[in-house]
Amino acid sequence: MSWRALVAGVAVAALLAGCSSAPDQPAPSSSTTVTPTPSRTPALPAVRSYVALGDSFTAGPGLAALGAGGELCLRSDHNWPSLLAQRLDATSFTDVSCAGATTHDVLHQAGGPVGARPQIAAVRAGTDLVTVGIGGNDGNLFASLISACTGGQGACAPFSRDSAPRILHQTVSDIATVLDDVRAKAPKATVLLVGYLRIMPDSGTCPTIGIPAADTAAVAAAEEALDQALADAARNAGVPYVSMRKASRGHDACAGARAWTNGRTVRDADGIAFHPRLAGMQAVARAVAAELAD
């Protein structure tokens, strides 16, 4: 993959916590004293070796500092795998996620700035946790989607309805293959497939996303179809799927201060256009941690 292709992939690839209580007060003499049930903090598993695989929604381009060795992949040390590794207090953490990556880059020699080795090379027999966030770049899905939906030629709905399903049909198989191969390399590892934060609202539009209201529903439908494809791939591979679609409702790019993803408008050091903000990365880390908890 050329550097120019990587940059283009980054630009369009994704168009896609304790409760506190007040101190106990003496109960009035006329009341029955109730002993509160202590809240239980779910225990996180002990993780010796954690490997994160994925594309730009995992890598976190534009978020705070770049991680060591992550310059060419625009990989942030504030992406959700890094936040998760801190929560888990992982003994060993290897993040090979890369902006522009596809399932092919996970399994096969990528070359170019993405690196000569496939991402899966980081997985070892003794790895005990692997997270995978991939699929949005396969078949040039979202690059084609954004082109169709910003061209003003009425191509958005037909692409979402006709072309996207064909791409996603193959993507399901390719993601399942990734998951199968990861499990084969690390048979004792916990393997999780992690989904994408939503960018589009369910309906309507806003200036920050810059897509006409007539087309946002088609883009949202493509996002939902990708989420379903990931769920199908995880089910086919027998791997848990952490969907972020329901969790991120109300946190789309039109949600203002509540947004977990950017539209075209980007705040300094808070992700790039149409990609997760730090708040979104924190939300994904919480969701994955909850999936891992007892």
What length does the chain have? 294
**61 in a domain, yes or no?**
yes
Q: Which of 98, 92, 103, 95 is nearest to 127 (CA)?
A: 92
Q: What is the pLDDT along the chain (294 residues), one digit of tens a residue?
A: 433 343 334 344 444 433 333 333 333 333 334 444 433 346 888 899 999 999 999 999 999 888 777 889 999 999 999 999 999 999 999 999 999 999 999 999 655 445 568 999 999 999 999 999 999 999 999 888 878 887 667 888 888 888 999 999 999 999 999 999 999 999 999 999 999 999 999 889 999 988 888 888 888 999 999 999 999 999 999 999 999 999 999 999 999 999 999 998 897 889 999 999 999 999 999 999 999 996
DSSP sequence for 197-221: PP-S-SS---TTT---HHHHHHHHH
What domain range is 257 assigned to? 43-138+172-208+230-292
**17 in a domain, yes or no?**
no
**249 in a domain, yes or no?**
yes
Amino acid at 267: R
**217 in a domain, yes or no?**
no
d(CA 60, CA 271): 7
**144 in a domain, yes or no?**
no
**16 in a domain, yes or no?**
no
CATH of residue 104: 3.40.50.1110
**223 in a domain, yes or no?**
no
pLDDT tens-digit series, residues 34-55: 444 433 346 888 899 999 999 9
**8 in a domain, yes or no?**
no
How many domains, the chain?
1
Give the position of tokens 């090979």: 96
- Note whether 235 and 242 are within 8 A (CB): no
